[in-house]
Amino acid sequence: MAVHPIDYRYGSEEMKRIWDEENRLQKMLEVEGAIAKAQGELGIVPKEAAMEICRKASTKYVKLERVKEIEREIKHDIMAMVKALAEVCEGNAGEYVHFGVTSNDIVDTAQSLQFKETIDILLGKLEELKEELLKKAEEHKYTVCIGRTHGQHAIPTTYGMRFALWASEIQRHIDRLKECKKRLCVSMVTGAVGTMAALGDKGMEVHKKVGEILGLTPVLISNQVIQRDRHGEFLATLALIAQTLNKIGVTVRNMQRTEIGELEEEFDPKKQVGSSTMPHKRNPITFEQICGLSRIIKANVLAGFDNIPLWEERDLTNSSAERCLFSESCVLLDHILNLSIKGIRKLRVNKENVKRNLELTKGLIMAERVMMTLAKKGMGRQRAHEVVRRCTMRAYEESRHLKEVLREDDEIMKYLREEELEELFDYSTYIGLAPKIVDNVIKELRR
């Protein structure tokens, strides 16, 4: 019976496979096999036994159902896996399974293998999303729209700037995730409390060789666990990515408000239903889902941080939490990345409404331009600010176009000719270096 929506509603199959029980078992078996191989090469266990363990360290031989059966009896999941592997090994090879190591050598190293697969998928999708944003930035480099600060009309910008800004943020997340991967995807074969006492003088050689076999960097030092600051950083990085997707979603949803109507997510008018009672509705459900699920990913960071201060060499409070945290955060982030890629690719910019909204405040958005022009012509910046501010307040109160009010002000018109005043209210010529900025972002991020 499915309980969590990940089981039946959210997440891609490729990401779910990484975090399902079968793959978790497979990764732990791979670690056991790598340990046996390293110990066989170093003469700690018989080579024949090591080879047999390596051959059988696979879910082809060790079945999940059998591991669970043993666990129900002995109440220890890792020892259940060890027993299940040992019993399928021929001869006395089973006696050398899990030789000189402890449970978290297996669990933490296996999780690193899962993290490695996860990050590779996430990086690919972040690159894909970045490219979709860059395409939109290029397409709308000259699509002039109103910029908003504090939810109020400010001065003109372009939709190219918005898309380029988001793409740049995604690039930073790509960089963060790559850096995090170096610290997170590490191996550990250090035994109880991290001293390698059970393996004696060859403990460090085993520790390093296992990392080499698995393609992971051995930790410099541990106690009985890989330290959870690494995992906290990973969860925080996932949350940062999710919050950027949330930010994009909030903007799209706001711009899809009926009164604004500048953006609209994909909607199939032939089949899609917007409401069970209001037949006309076209809701931004994709970006709403992105925003909603981002909250879960963000919330998981707190529990991940609480796993950092374990008691002395370790306790078990992190284990149960991490069974939920890692799979949930990875699957949900992958899911909302997929939604974001498709959502941005299919996003529609309604240029008629964009133009309408530019005119909404009757020229007030050009007040800065007027002020700066007057300042450059000799009025002085502070005086120009006050004179124009006074005119904007009058235009606002009388619901008139700012240009008309300015034309009636003798002090202002001493500095401006009529044709200059007209030119100041051409929105398309007051976007500064926006197109060049966008071009530069595209060039840098595609480099």
Q: What is the CATH number of the domain that holds 88?
A: 1.10.275.10
Is 72 found in the same domain as 92? Answer: yes
Q: 390: domain range?
A: 364-424
Q: Which of 71, 99, 127 is the last residue of a domain?
A: 99
Is 375 found in the same domain as 351? Answer: no
Specify the pairing of strand 217-218 against strand 263-264.
unpaired
Pair 169, 242: CB distance under 8 Å: no
Is 200 found in the same domain as 285? Answer: yes
429 found inside a domain: no
150 found inside a domain: yes
405 found inside a domain: yes
- Write out the catalytic residue numbers: 150, 275
Classify residue 302 by burial, with Cβ atoms within 10 Å: 0-12, 13-18, 19+: exposed
Is 281 found in the same domain as 169? Answer: yes
Is 142 found in the same domain as 111? Answer: yes
Please tell me the distance from the alpha carbon of residue 48 to that of residue 170, in angstroms, as a whole number. Answer: 50
24 found inside a domain: yes
Is 237 found in the same domain as 298? Answer: yes
Is 194 found in the same domain as 48? Answer: no
> What tokens does 381 get?
């910046």
| Nearest by Cα to 218 from 228, 208, 227 | 208
Q: Alpha-carbon torsion 382, 388, 394, 396, what sign? A: negative
| Residue 159, helix vs strand vs coil | helix
Q: What is the pTM of this model?
A: 0.94
Pair 186, 112: CB distance under 8 Å: yes
Per-residue pLDDT, 109: 98
Pair 427, 140: CB distance under 8 Å: no
Is 397 found in the same domain as 284? Answer: no
Domain count, the chain: 3
| Nearest by Cα to 256 from 169, 342, 158, 354 | 354
Please tell me the distance from the alpha carbon of residue 390 to that of residue 243, in angstroms, as a whole number. Answer: 40
Pair 140, 163: CB distance under 8 Å: yes
Pair 334, 125: CB distance under 8 Å: yes
Q: Dihedral of the CA atoms 60, 62, 67, 73 (nearest 10)?
A: 140
Per-residue pLDDT, 2: 85
Which stretches of the chain drop beneath a pLDDT of 50? none
Is 375 found in the same domain as 291? Answer: no
Please tell me the distance from the alpha carbon of residue 407 to that of residue 412, in angstroms, as a whole number. Answer: 8
Is 326 found in the same domain as 417? Answer: no
Q: Which of 76, 99, 122 is the last residue of a domain?
A: 99
Per-residue pLDDT, 274: 87
Classify residue 170 by burial, with Cβ atoms within 10 Å: 0-12, 13-18, 19+: buried
Classify residue 436 by burial, with Cβ atoms within 10 Å: 0-12, 13-18, 19+: exposed
| Residue 136, helix vs strand vs coil | helix
Is 438 found in the same domain as 405? Answer: no
Is 55 found in the same domain as 130? Answer: no
> What tokens does 94 get?
């089973």
